[in-house]
Structure 1
Amino acid sequence: MIFWILIAVLTAGVAGLLIAPLMKPRPQPTTAREDEAAVYRDQMKEIDRDLALGLLGEKEADYARAEIGRRLLAATDAPQRGLTPAALPRPHRITTLLVILCPPIVGLAGYLMLGSPGMPDQPLAARLANPGNNIELLIAKAERHLAQNPNDGAGWDLLAPIYMRSGRFADADQAFRNSIRILGATPQRLAGLGETMVAANQGIVTDEARGFFEKAVELEPGNMRSRFYVALGLEQAGRKPEALAAFNAIKRDSPPGAAWESLVNQHIAANSENAPGNPSAADVAAAQNLSGQDRQAMIAGMVESLAERLKSDPKNIEGWLRLVRSYMVLGREQDARNALQTGLKTFPAETDEGQRLVALAREIGLGEGIVQ
């Protein structure tokens, strides 16, 4: 209420400053009688000049002075017929007052009729209590509540997916973990935590994330989304036979025409033992007996060998898919981007093969800046 009163006062003040020049009295105009008196004075001076030049006698000059003096007195004694110095036309005064007073009066009256002058300003706490559809206020409200009630599992359960959709992956990770710790593990919470970790790692399914997906599948075997991430994690870890079996199982258990059927078929083709560029069964068996460092060296060697083969045989879509994935598993993102660019030169994005490369780029987080 005080704020609006101040606005009204300021409005009146500004209007007053703008109209102030109009309120000043105008200079009094010269009247006709003043002009007449000036003429008589000039005639007096002319009589003196004529007398000095000998054009008039003394007696004639006295008569003339007497007559002109009489007329001069009559002119100066008459009342003034102009405006007084402070005079201002009445209509002009009324217009000025209306301009000054009407805007603040109308504004204040409108606020009193349509507004809520008796309602105090809403502090942050009041706005948080009624956030409406403001997502930022909803998050702030939930965060304030959880700061005071850190063991409210339902609050963490509600906030976690909101963090996820907002791109706040670290906060989402913590929120999912809190909800699981307080309320227990469910397929949805476990899968949500796993997907948060995948998003935070640019599409890479880490061993920890795959573990959460596997727990989700144990609780809900029909959860195809979690099963897909398990299979993808196995593929990215170089465990191709296991990944192929997992993708085949997803295809077998999926309803006809499932939305994910095409994507699963792509991974089945990429993980088949006869797919160009994939390691043989003997390679996989040999790798099982190696130390972690030696296994990584063996994988890196196979990846470089595949890259060399693709230079001489670029018309190998399965090889390009395998190479891009392998570089990402090894943490060589720039090499993966370069391989993707080269593959798209061989298989443009508008072709079926190019679309597979585009889908892979989006899946593992390489789409931005490469795929239009």
Structure 2
Amino acid sequence: MVFWILISFVALAVTGLLSLALMRAHEVGEPPAAYDLRVYRQQLRDVDKDLARGVINASDADRVRAEVSRRILAADSLLQQQQSGDSQPAGLSRAMILISAVALIGGTLGLYSWLGAPGYDDMGLELRIAAAKDYAKTRPSQSEAEARLPATPKPQAEAEYLDLVAQLRKTANARSNDAQGQALLSQHEANLGNFKAAYEAKRNYIQIMTGDLEAQDYGELAELMIMASGGYVSPEAEELLDRTLTLDPRNGPARYYWGLMQGQLNRPDIAFRIWSETLRMGPKGAPWINGIEAQIEEMAFRAGVEYRLIDVPGATPDGGPALAGPSADDVSAAQDMTTEDRQEMIKGMVARLSDRLATEGGSAKEWAQLIGALAVLGDRTRAAAIYDEAKTRFGADAASLSLIEAAANQAGLDQ
């Protein structure tokens, strides 16, 4: 309500100023010729005074009187025209005032209805989070999202391949319990861009396999559904992603789509944190890593975070991400340092790692590394606090929790 009162007041104030400017000629002031007439009459009186004092002679006085009298007659004629004429009609001025008022007030309301958000209160952080939760519950379903998409063009492929896929469809439909046939059909339908048919075949595969499934199966089904809806993460796809991450919290594609979904739900803060953690897991060059790197800067801007380039580790021999350690320059510099300086350098590296994990998150290996480093520095109290927080973060991931507990045992925190 305050907003509407404010913009109405501003619009009326601007309209009032325009009205004052348009009507001023009818209400205040005098024609310029009236001022000229007063000046010329004063000049006639001054001529008589100059003649009496002997400043000018009689012939000069007559010549000046004639010239001033001529100007008085011209000014008087002009004054009569200005008083009898209508250089600024009052009716036209009033019409312009009315038009200006309608244009200002109507234009303001129209522009706000187009660019603004009528009906919303001041969107503070709590209201934004509440609105995001409401949208998450009421957002379009998978079928609704697919219905909004334009018709997909026919796939461009060789005729022989199209014939083979058509035959595969017939065979897979005839063998409703053939899991391998459904898996092949899903793959080839996706190759042709028929994502809806692809995820339907993948769903059939999951129903046939029942207990013999991995996290990747649910993640692939979610990805096919997201592709079928044009990149939109529906509630049905969200459920599959949640199941994938429950089984495998480090699943890269699922983490990418989970962050994408948070961005679509107007929670870029959560999306940025998830993507930051995923980038630090690596490996560099993975498809989901490339997708995150292309969008994380914009997500950081939406979240109000100052983005700093994140170094993505490559793959280690065991397939896990490589942890970032001191650079070659750091090692070279440390050799020339005193014991105290070297200790300060290590403390600085540990502090940076701690700050990053607190703000952006990280992998279980990085949390384990921080616990061990704090224990080496003798800060057991802080190491214990980090251990408790890590157990909360990775409580659902048995492998990650085991790694963190091993680091805590080595640091002597469980003793």
- For the criterion TM > 0.5, the same-fold answer is no
Q: TM-score, normalised by structure 2?
A: 0.32
- Report the structure number with the largest CA radius of gyration: 1
TM-score normalized by the length of structure 1 = 0.35
